[in-house]
Each structure stands twice: as C-alpha cells, then as structure tokens.
Amino acid sequence: MLQKLNFKPGFNKQATASGAESQWIDGDNVRFRYGLPEKIGGWSQLTLVNQTLPGVARAQHSFTSLAGEKYVAIGTSQGLFIYYSDTFYDITPLDTAITGATFDSTTGFATVTVNKTSHGLIAGRYITFTSVSLPGGGETDFTTIQFENNTFEVLNVTANTFDITMPTNEGGTGMSTQGSAEINPYVQVGPVFQLEGFGWGAGLWGDSTWNTARSTTTTVLDPGNWSLDNFGEVLVATIHNGRTFTWDSGATNPRTIRASTTTTNYETTSNPTASIMTIVSDRDRHLFHLGTETTIGDTTTQDPMFIRFSNQEDLNTYLPTATNTAGTFRLDQGNEIRAAIQGKDYVLILTDTAAYTVQFVGPPFTFSIRQVGVNCGAMGQHAVVYANGVVYWMGDAGGFFAFDGTVKLLPCLVEDFVFTTGGDNLGINYNTNKIIYAGHNSLYNEVTWFYAQNGQTQINRSVTYNYGENVWTTGSLARTSYQDASVFELPYATDYSTTATPNFPIQGITNTYGATTYYAHETGTDQINSSGTTSINAYIQSGDFDISATRGVTGQTTGIADLRGDGEFIMSMKRFVPDFKILTGNSKVTLLLNDYPSQTAASSPLGPFTITSSTDKVDTRARGRLLAIKIENDAVGETWRYGTLRVDIKPDGRR
C-alpha cells in the first residue's frame, strides 16, 4: 500500500531524530522554496585572471559613482582593495614614511636587502618605495620604476635590515649600502585571527606582571576589521579601533589614486583617529564615529560607548556650533558599541547588551536617540543585517533578534546546534564573535550568519533564516564577507584559505596571511575557480518515521493507520516512488534504518539508490522499526528540488 511522506519545511535540530517525525533534521547546501527543499545555487570566481587577495576579507561594500561606475570595496586584514570591471585595484592607505634607506644586492639574485636603522617593520608587512635614487656605476641594472611601481612584502627582518624580492635578478656588479629611498609602509589593519593574547604584554596595563610571558589569558585580541560605507560617490573606510580614510570614485583616474588623509578631496582632516566603526546616515548624510575619542586626535581618550557625528553634508566638521549640526552623545547601557546599521529611516546601534535607534529630527536637537531593547546585544560588528524593512542580528549571549519597530527574539529550531556544544551540536566559538558576518540574499529571502564553530578560529559554518517562509537551515558554506545583489545582479562573497598564497601583484608575497577568493553566487550548479569545476555536494535528511497497525474484529492486522505510530511494529518497505520537482543529472536516495532511537541508523541493503528523471519506482529490501530518508547529490552539474516520496510499507512483526 503506497503512503505519501510529507515533511515540514525547515530544519528541526532541537528534537531527537525519532522525535522529529515528518520534519527535516539535517542537511548541507540546501534551501527551501515554496515549502520544498532544493540544492543552493553555485558560485564562480570573479576577476579576469582569477586574482586572489592577501589576508582574510572582513568587510565589503558596493556603491556606484555619479558616472554610473560600479564598485565593491573589500577590506582585508592586510589592506583595502577595489573591485571594478572584473579587476582588483589596491587603494590601501599608507602609513608614515620612513626616509634614508639604502640597498644591497648580489649579482644573479632577485633578493635586495634594504638597510635602515631601527626601521620598526615586521615580516609580512607590505611597503612601497618613493624618491628612489640608484647608483650609476654599473652596480645595478634594477630601475627606479621597478622599485616605485611595485609593492613588496617585507622578508627576513632584522633590527636594521629587511629583504625584498625584485621582479628580475640583479645583472650589475651588486650594490653595497648604496642608493637611497623613502619607505612607505601599508597602514596596519590587524590580526588575521581573533586571538587570545598569550605571551609578552598580554595582561592589563599597570598589572605588576604585565611584562611576563603567559600561558593562559583572558585577553582577546580583536581581528583586523573594517567598516565601509559611502558618502555619495566617496568611499569612507575605517579600520576597527583606528583611523578613517576616504577614496573618491569620481576623481580623475580614481583607481590609480591611493586612499589618503592629506590630499584635497580625500582628506578626513578633522576626524577622530580611533573609532570602533563609522557609518553614514543615508537620508541626512552625517558621518557617525562610534566608540570614538572624546578628544579628537587623542587615542588615549577613546571611549567604547561614545558617539561623535559630523556636520550635515560635511565629512570633516565635528566641532558643534550654533550654526551646524555636529554633535556628540554617549550611550549608557553596555560596555562597548558592537554594531550599527542603517534601517528604513533610522540607524540602529547595538552595544553588547542593548539596542538604540538614532533618528534625524532636525535642529535644534538634530537626532532623537531612543533605547529600544535590553539584553539583546550583538555578537560583533558584522553580525547584523537589514533585510526587507527588518534588522536581524545574532545575540551576544546566543539567540537571534529582529527589530521592526520593536525588538523581538526569533523562535529558532536550530538554536542549540548553533550556540551549544552538547550532544551532536557543533556550537559557536564565542571567542571568534567579532569575525561573524551576516549576509542578506534578497533573491531568496534569506539572512545567513557565517561563523566559526567551537574549536575553530576561522569561519567554517553558516546558519540561514528564510524570513519569507519562516524556516531555518544550517550548513558548511564558509564566507568571511557577503554582499547582497543590488549594485550587481548577483550576491558577491569572499572565501578564505589560511594556507593559500595570494596572486595579487605584490613582489615576494608569501602565504603568511593566507588568501581570499572572490565569488559571484547563485550562478550555475557548481564551484568554478582557478582550480577548475567542482561539485557542490548537497543533502537533506529527515527525522525518523514509524508505523502503527489497526486491528479488525478478528484481531488480525488490517492496515496502516498513519505514519506517526508509536514504533511498536517493524516495518517492511517493498518499493518507493520518487517525485522531484526539479532534477538535473542524478540524485541519490538513501533509506536509513534502525530498530531503536539509540542505535546508529544504517542504509538499507540495496541502497543508496540512484534516481534519474526517468526513474518510475525503486524496489527495495528495507526493514526496520524506524526509517529516515536522505536525498543528496555528489557530481558536477547536478541540481534538484525534492517533491514527495511514496513508499510501499506494511507491518512486519514486533521484532
């Protein structure tokens, strides 16, 4: 007798497998549309020559110039880059110049030693050269252009020297403390990881054991991070707990101009020099510095709860007067500002414990600041996203919140799986809270949080809320930043490898900081990058179901009452009839059987079963008290949307 198995959309990971009857309990790389599970779309590497960026991307922001040029700014742990016309451009700001360097070189080698007493640079930092002068007596055939038109990685550091790798080998007799140059280091962003501060100087300043090496610590070092926004066609980029820089996409040849704090139209001359983050209020165009200095320019006065905003339509005026709208205020609930995002007609600011709205009201008060929630702080700077009129975020102590005028705690059937580590729950690594990234995929009404599971230091898991269908899923998709389709037609996201060597043109670059690959998502069915085309393996698995029997007048078994029985009877499955709404290539169906919930389920003897678009039915030899189904794919070019499954089952005794 054929019975149709229907399952509720979404994952339920709060219940046991045997308790989640008629529900899905696990899966990877799947989503729900119209109540049905399907494999997610593929992704393809961006840039014409498959460029990868140095370090791990922690933020991205898309915007358009007044001329209609489309840009994405990407902030990594090592620099600031622009994606434009399928190519990366380096606009990383430069730090204070170091003058008086000289060079050593050896015939036949590409290594050049740079001599500068007490240069203060560390291995792996990137630099450029200006004002280069080389000897003219045949000592070198390197050219000034080779030095000044390239970026170099600092290698083999000593107190007074370091090495760089030139594009060619030395063809001259060799330099010995000759020539001269000015060294321009890239501004430092921060660590690749969010780390516990072991070792020297990990304690609090003033601690009697501050200068003592430690094997344990409660200190956590924030990862290198950025806040990115645009003031019209001007990019505003702020290093976490650092300075603010601008880059004008409307300038002549903007992609050849490095971000600056000194050049007209690029300057942020009066801005604070230490802020947790910045954000532009869209409608009234004020630049907010959050968690910033009470005295501009004095980093020792940085207050993690203090906010300063500029004069309207002015990036550089912060001194309040009777004729402008600049001002300051301090939040009072929490220890630090964690996140901020532009809502419909307000800015929502989240501390580690509370939520505030900031709304423009005009003179004389400029802004209305209201506390709208308590015990609802945010995990991290990028753990918040605005979608379809609602702000969503991951809570500092666990759970997910939404603000649509009031703060709400979202019911979540995968909550334990994300926030705890008991049983088969993977759990989050709370010490990596500041690398969590929330992304909105408006193409499918999804909000996804990417996070590092317990025991990991980089993002390797994701949890998705489909607000259109009110369902949750989990997965292994790992993206360190995510940009919704808006300026561009598809979502763009960054993937990080700790061991890869970036190929973005920096001379002598190593894999010290790993590499970031940039992908367009929801395109095709597979992963496509410089290594070729790889299958995106997806699966979904149901909870257990069982059967019960009804008895006739004679006491004999007469049929099946329903599929939500108490599990008293062993069931025998003779065949099943698959039904896929979409099936490209093959899919596999596995029948997972066991007799008791405590046992590990095993595949039926003839399974798994390969399903094609022409498969009518599948004969099986399946027998067990509890039965679950698993649908998956594992080959290039395959995709599917599951419909229903009809099974031919009957009671087969009690043992």
Count the domains in the chain: 3
252 and 385, same domain (yes or no): yes
266 and 150, same domain (yes or no): no
> Amino acid letter at 487?
V
Strand order in the sheet with 287-290: 277-280, 287-290, 306-309, 327-330
Q: What are the tens digits of pLDDT across the range 551-561?
A: 333 444 444 44
Does residue 407 sit in helix, strand or coil?
Answer: strand
Mean pLDDT of 161-184: 97
Give the lowest-confidence range in 299-308, 470-479, 618-627. Answer: 618-627
457 and 347, same domain (yes or no): yes
- Domain ends where: 476, 498, 523? 523
- Measured CA to CA, the distance from residue 82 to residue 74 in angstroms comes to 6
80 and 176, same domain (yes or no): no
246 and 365, same domain (yes or no): yes
Q: Where are the beta strands (DSSP E) in 143-198?
A: 152-153, 161-165, 178-185, 195-196
Q: Is residue 529 part of a domain?
A: no
Q: What are the tens digits of pLDDT across the range 470-528?
A: 999 999 999 999 999 999 999 999 999 999 999 988 999 999 999 999 999 999 999 99
305 and 236, same domain (yes or no): yes
293 and 395, same domain (yes or no): yes
376 and 268, same domain (yes or no): yes
pLDDT at 69 (0 to 100): 94
Q: Is residue 204 part of a domain?
A: no
Percent of the chain having pLDDT more than 70?
A: 91
459 and 491, same domain (yes or no): yes
Q: Is the pLDDT of residue 348 over 60?
A: yes
378 and 261, same domain (yes or no): yes
Give the lowest-confidence range in 190-204, 295-309, 311-325. Answer: 190-204
pLDDT at 477 (0 to 100): 98
Q: Is residue 216 part of a domain?
A: no
Q: What are the tens digits of pLDDT across the range 369-384?
A: 999 999 999 999 999 9
- Domain ends where: 466, 499, 523? 523
pLDDT at 267 (0 to 100): 53
Q: Is the pLDDT of residue 136 over 80?
A: yes
- Measured CA to CA, the distance from residue 181 to residue 284 in angstroms comes to 45
460 and 386, same domain (yes or no): yes
- Measured CA to CA, the distance from residue 355 to residue 334 in angstroms comes to 10
Instruction: Please state, as a whole number, how many other Cβ atoms lie within 10 Å of the Cβ of residue 58.
Output: 29
Q: Is residue 530 part of a domain?
A: no
Q: Is the pLDDT of residue 2 over 50?
A: yes
Q: Domain of 371: which CATH number?
A: 2.130.10.10
pLDDT at 216 (0 to 100): 46
pLDDT at 548 (0 to 100): 56
Residue pair 12/543 in contact by the 8 Å Cβ criterion: yes
pLDDT at 293 (0 to 100): 97
pLDDT range class, residue 258, cuts 50, 70, 90: low
> What is the extent of the structural domain holding 160?
98-185
Q: Is residue 219 part of a domain?
A: no
Q: Is residue 194 part of a domain?
A: no
Q: Domain of 144: which CATH number?
A: 2.40.30.20
Q: Is the pLDDT of residue 233 over 90?
A: yes
Mean pLDDT of 161-173: 97
Residue pair 589/564 in contact by the 8 Å Cβ criterion: no
Q: Which residues pair with 647 in a beta bridge?
A: 3, 576
Instruction: Please state, as a whole number, how many other Cβ atoms lie within 10 Å of the Cβ of residue 108.
Output: 9
Q: Is residue 197 part of a domain?
A: no
Q: Which residues contact 138 (CB under 8 A, 6 or more apart)?
A: 172, 173
Q: Where are the beta strands (DSSP E) in 91-160?
A: 98-105, 111-115, 126-133, 152-153
- Domain ends where: 523, 556, 571? 523
Q: Is residue 605 part of a domain?
A: yes
Q: Is the pLDDT of residue 368 over 80?
A: yes
- Measured CA to CA, the distance from residue 257 to residue 633 in angstroms comes to 47
69 and 154, same domain (yes or no): no
DSSP assignments along 213-264, one per residue: --S--S-EEPPP-EEEEEETTEEEEEETTB-EEEEETTSSSGGGS--BSSST
pLDDT at 560 (0 to 100): 43
